[in-house]
Amino acid sequence: MSRARAAIILAAGQGTRMKSALPKVLHEVGGRAMLDWAIAAAADTGAARTIIVTGAHSPVVGEHVAKALGPNAPVIQDPPLGTAHAVRAAEQAMAGFDGDIVILYGDAPFVPVERIEAMFALRAEKGGLVVLGFEARDPTGYGRLLLAADGSVERIVEHKDATAQERAVKLCNSGVLCADARTLFKLLAQVRNENAKGEYYLTDVVALGRAAGEQTNVVIGVEADTLGVNSKVELAAAEAGFQQRMRIAAMEAGATLIDPATVYFSHDTQIAADVVIEPNVFFGKGVKIAKGARIKAFCHIEGAEIGEGANVGPSARLRPGTKLGPKVKIGNFVEIKNSTFGEKAQASHLTYVGDADIGARANLGCGTITCNYDGFDKYRTTIGEDAFIGSDTALVAPVTIGKGAYTGTGSVITKDVPEGALGVARARQANIEGWADKNRAKKRKDKPA
């Protein structure tokens, strides 16, 4: 990478078709805001500086960007007068930058890093400007790339301004553009708004550049990678496309998905080979699954690490901070939060474990509860190796169950149980002879005839 790189991401659109109070670019695909997909792509291509152009109508976008990239990253386009005007809003923030800039979009989350890399490489080889194009099955609505005899881009025409002959062209413009910083802003200053929409089009820099001796070349990508999202319908389509790619990638990496269409991934889900995933499983952010694990049907998992050969579910919920060691067994209707399980530990059914550390081979009986919250603070429970927690035990944290210790079924444990001991905390049983017969007779006598 010989020249410095930077990115300008356009995120100032009104997003009115989303019909939502949440700004369009903050809607999520694969558990990540669309804008964050573009920010990540810029970072992955080595951008030394990334500027996000936001709108005055969406201060929350600026706050989101400042949190992610620092207070100097967001700039405001006000009023919105088109894409060229939006890029010019970033000019001051790019002052002093001497290198190549790529223009990305906050509502186009899937532009592949390798395509952006190809654009930078082509610019390094041939100079001038580089655009990202694609062959559309139905080019209606897209700007068309009109090529010269040498294969370079002569100009880009928007659909509304195109002639019938130009609309027949299927090579379309994604809007992604790469150019030398000084050349880019010099050309932008010449853009006029003499078009059907009365806006300043970024695409006009191609013809202006050609007139100034700057050739524009094209990298051709795939239509699905360049699609923008403008409505909830398109958002759902983007999610569906993402999920399909993730399912295929997981299976190609050696995971078994019994019913792929019912398994949902996050952008950062990591699944090793020989993992088996049964139907109707949802992975939120931050899930990592080691080889040989099995995730049974109807599990909801987020922020969790699952060890080699572990068995989870069916109908289990693993919340953030969960770490399961090798060969751990988590059964049906078990919820775990911010807890660790040592090798071969198990909670087979109907159990809640929050803020706890469970030793190797420990067994949590049905109905075990860690009482970790007093309404103000959270407290931890520690269960030693080979401990056995009797069914329906409530462990009132902070409390420690020693190595190899037992708790009696139905106990409410409020004090530590030493290693090898049995902790029992329940009322002594008393039998009242004849009570049931007398009560039954009384009820029958009182019942109206």
* Catalytic residue annotation: 349
Q: Is 187 helix (H, G, I), strand (E, B) or coil?
A: helix
Q: Is the peptide bond before 79 cis (omega within 30 degrees of 0)?
A: yes
Under 8 Å between Cβ of 207 and 155: yes
Under 8 Å between Cβ of 78 and 47: no
Under 8 Å between Cβ of 100 and 120: yes
Q: Is 198 left (phi over 0), alpha (psi -120 to 50) or beta?
A: left
**What is the distance between the alpha carbons of residues 227 and 111, in angstroms, rounded to a whole number?**
8
DSSP for 258-306, written as a single string: SSGGGEE--TT-EE-TT-EE-SSEEE-SS-EE-TT-EE-TT-EE-SEEE
What are the backbone angles phi and psi of residue 209, rounded to the nearest 5°? Answer: -65, -40
DSSP for 418-430, written as a single string: -TT-EE--SPPP-
**Residue 361 exposed, middle or buried by CB count within 10 Å (0-12, 13-18, 19+):** middle
What are the backbone angles phi and psi of residue 36, rounded to the nearest 5°? Answer: -70, -25
Token pair of 89 as six digits:
């809003």
Cα–Cα distances (Å) from 441 to 268, 290, 445, in that order, read 66, 62, 6
- The residue among 263, 229, 219, 271 whose CA lies nearest residue 37 is 229
Work out the angle between the directed axes of helices 34-44 and 59-69 (0-180°, nearest 10).
Answer: 30
**What is the distance between the alpha carbons of residues 127 and 215, in angstroms, rounded to a whole number?**
8
Q: Is 381 helix (H, G, I), strand (E, B) or coil?
A: strand
- The residue among 372, 390, 391 whose CA lies nearest residue 382 is 372
